[in-house]
Chains A and B, each alone.
Chain A
């Protein structure tokens, strides 16, 4: 009797959950609702006035606001596409190479490729700005040395290249993350599975495509969603290299920099926390939508294998 009672009141669950719930509520949930509240008001004189969804109507309906918004969203999408096309395949390829036992110094490569991930955006942005500088950069000199100087362009200053260049810089910085995750899941594939495959004549590249890749698909899914969330929250790299106006001609403006300019203001532009919050909410909804599509549309259909 008494033991059953004790089991019913499972206090330890509450106790273990409380710290996380408190911290998460204070730091994430309350600010989120605060932002939502702010986005439903507007400032008239010194007063906050409730306007319902008017800020969202302006953001999506007004010609100027909506063109800035869609431009930023489009840039975010391109930023994500570049990461999906370059960063993740590259990460998988490097991980596959690292997990091959024939490779020497694999620890060194693994560390070297992972190190940029722990660097600050400011350092990465500044270093790449210097590398690509048409005046003092080593990129033009290196291209010159192999006779390819004509290929050099002031990439960060051209509307057609700037965003892709930034995306590739970000790929360089973060390729270590998919590499590490895939590497870990490749190592967790039991040798028996691979040996059984060998008996059936699946070796070399075929073993990767037919055995390893299906087994690491769940990890690739997780990486994709992490990439999605990180890319749609992107701000730091763009702010440090291109400034808050995200030049040239807003070609690198993402939702993050658009939000920053609107919320905090910039130079002569005074900050507008209400419109800024509306943009922040839209960012949140876009990310929420993406994550939901992944969770309900893709992850539930993914086949998992138990060893």
Chain B
């Protein structure tokens, strides 16, 4: 009897507590960015909650490697959070097609994003957009300014200059000219092929022509980057074949290498690790005066779980993601992740400023095979990891690499058949 009364008392308290906070709606964010937990908790969420009283946000990240499968399982079971952080292209498109992601193209602030920004999270025909773009990453080269002064070389602007600089470092012998390895293969593709390539296939123009079937991967503009990569091998450190991605990062930040083929996501790590002054240059063009292209890859966005119980609050949050306030908060807490919105964003990190300035002088493009072309088997994104690493190691010539890629693509992609 006594126990029952205690239990009822406890239950009553629970109801009372719930009632007291009933105005507060809690929404949960699913994400793979577990590195950013503190930034969300200390910066982003407080700023949103201050502007929108009554909505509480919980950031609940999963480890990056498990995110896709965990998210799929949670969505299928109906236990996923209200807000879904979106991977670019097919990863999220398949969620939209399966009815898990709501369309968000009608949000007012979506007007702040251009077509390239939205391309990562739109249907193929561009009719529906299902995530609000958050950030992109830009590729280029980060270099050791002190090493450049010591050896007396200038930042290269053409491909020939680039190799002259590498030769100078090789002759000098104090620095490994190029900090990169092929053990993990993805650097060869992402920071190699996709980094220098847009200057050859003219960015979006070439990428769209490839999707339309008007260009082939055996065309000179798609093979030439492989020929460039083939020359990189001799400037990398001894045993680069077994050098992993963290090895390369350490080699550069310890000041033992001169140039690091980079993505802008390295910035916060490098700022913390390196004790020398760093600079950055965009991928060298073929000849003086050529128009330059950069890989400005859409990387992360956020969308709405169609099954959410609080659609209005979720939409409020998504509208906020499209504001100048969010753009500035995000870009400054995570240097190297650049806002995709059209808002002018002031960034305090000098290297980040230097990199984002390339957008003014060069044309932006996304990584060549991420949209549509990586849908089949063999997977073109995996294949370009393998072929780029092979080109650097010298086990495939540039022409063989092009033919290998073209064969793979043509085996399933109709416009290329």
Residues of chain A having any CB pair with chain B under 8 Å:
46, 64-65, 129, 132-136, 140, 152-159, 242-243, 245, 247-250, 261, 264-272
Contacts and interface: CB of A to CB of B under 8 A. Distances in A.
A157 B242 contact: yes
A267 B377 CA distance: 13
B381 A243 contact: no
27 contacts: A46-B97, A65-B377, A133-B239, A133-B247, A134-B240, A135-B239, A140-B239, A156-B183, A157-B181, A157-B182, A157-B239, A157-B240, A157-B242, A245-B385, A247-B184, A247-B386, A248-B185, A248-B241, A248-B389, A249-B395, A250-B386, A261-B382, A267-B382, A268-B379, A268-B380, A269-B379, A269-B381
A135 B251 contact: yes
Contact of B395 (A135, A136, A154, A159): A159
A130 to B, nearest CB: 10
Given A248-B182, A270-B90, A271-B69, A64 B243 contact: no
A247 B379 CA distance: 15
Nearest to A64: B378
A247 B389 contact: yes
A66 B241 CA distance: 27
Interface in B243-268: 243-244, 247, 251
B122 interface: no
A248 B378 CA distance: 17
Given A134-B239, A134-B243, A247-B389, A157 B183 contact: yes
B393 to A, nearest CB: 7
B24 interface: no
A268 B375 CA distance: 8
Interface string B20-36: 00000000000000000
A272 B370 CA distance: 18
B342 interface: no
Among B98, B239, B370, chain A packs the most CB atoms within 10 A around the CB of B239
Given A135-B243, A154-B242, A268 B90 contact: yes
Interface string B309-332: 000000000000000000000000
Nearest to A159: B395
Contacts of A136: 247
Measured as residues with beta carbon below 8 angstroms from the partner, the interface class of chain B is 35 or more
Q: Give chain A's interface secondary structure class.
A: loop
Contact of A268 (B238, B243, B374): B374
Given A156-B241, A268-B91, 6 more contacts: A64-B377, A135-B243, A243-B185, A248-B390, A268-B369, A269-B381
Contact of A154 (B243, B386, B408): B243
A205 B197 CA distance: 66
Contacts of B91: 268, 270
Among B69, B237, B243, B380, chain A packs the most CB atoms within 10 A around the CB of B243
A268 B381 contact: yes
A154 B247 contact: no
A274 B28 CA distance: 32
Given A46-B98, A268-B381, A270-B91, A156 B374 contact: no
B411 interface: yes
B68 interface: yes
Nearest to A251: B395
Given A129-B244, A264-B69, A266-B382, A249 B390 contact: yes
B94 interface: yes
Contacts of B369: 268
Interface string B163-193: 0000000000000000001111110000000
B88 to A, nearest CB: 9
A155 B242 contact: yes
B89 interface: yes
A154 B233 CA distance: 14
A160 to B, nearest CB: 10
A134 B241 CA distance: 9
Contacts of A242: 183
Nearest to B380: A268
Interface string B373-406: 0100111111001100110010100000000000
